[in-house]
Structure 1
Amino acid sequence: MATVYVDLGSIGPKWPGACRTAAAHLNQLFKQNSIGVSLAFAGKGGPRIAVKTDSSITGTFHGHTHAETISGQLQSAVVSLPVKATINTPQGVREAGAGVLEVIVAHEFVHALGQVEHSASQLMCSPMSPVPGNSPSGDLLQA
C-alpha cells in the first residue's frame, strides 16, 4: 500500500481539523474499496501533498490542486484552499461549518491523488451548492 504524506502549512485554525477528518474518512473508503493508498500526517519520504491557503480563492466551495506525476505516479501535489469558506444564510453571511470544510478538503485530496475530472459523484461533483443549516454544524454541500 502506498502512503501519501500530507503536510499542513500555516492554514488557519479551522482547516487542520478538516484535513485530518477528511483524510480519515478517505482512508476508510480506500480500505473498504481495496484502493491501495493511505493518507498520513507524519513520516518521511514518499509522495507528499502540501496544503496551503490562498487569499485569491473566494466565493467558491472548491480549492485548487496542482499535482506532479512521473509515469502516472504522484510525486507531489499542492492543495490550495480558500482562507475562509462563507455561506449565505437567512441571518446573513457566516463562516461555513466543519462538514463543508471537510468536503472541500476531501475533494481536493482526491484531485491530488489523480482524479483530474469532475464527475456526477457526490464528492467529485462541480460545482457544489451550499445548503445552510440552522448552525454551522448543520451546513451541507449538495451535488
Structure 2
Amino acid sequence: LSAVPYIGNTLVQWIWGGFSVDNATLTRFFTFHFLLPFIIAAVTMIHLLFLHETGSNNPLGLSSNTDKIPFHPYFSYKDLLGFYILLLALTSLALFLPNVLGDPDNFTPANPMVTPPHIKPEWYFLFAYAILRSIPNKLGG
C-alpha cells in the first residue's frame, strides 16, 4: 500500500493507526473483522430487496411468463423445518450422548511422569516433526 504514489504512506499510517503496527492496528483489524460479516449480510439483503422489486433480467431478452412458485411460504418453511431437525439432532447429541464423538485417547487416565508414545503433532506440523525426529542427538534437536 505504501507503493501508491503521493498518498501511499498516508494510507499506511491511517490503516496502522500510527507509524508502526501497534495496539491501534490490532483494534482496527479486529473491529473490521467483526463488522465485515454484518456488512456483507446487509449488502446481500439490499441486493435481494432490489432483485425482488425489479425482478431478474433475462440475458436473451425473451420474456418468460411461466408460472412461478413464490419462495417465501414454501421453501422458507421447508428450510426452517430442516434447520429445526438439525438443531434438535445436534442438541440431543450434545446433551444426551456427549462422549460419543470423543477421541478414545482423551479417556485414558493421565500420568504426568510419562509422555504417551502416541502423541504427534497435527498434520500441518508433521514436516517439522519429521525433521526433528530425524536428528538422533539430543543436542541437535
Same fold (TM over 0.5): no
Higher normalized strand content (fraction of residues): 1
Higher normalized helix content (fraction of residues): 2
TM-score (norm 2): 0.17
TM-score (norm 1): 0.17
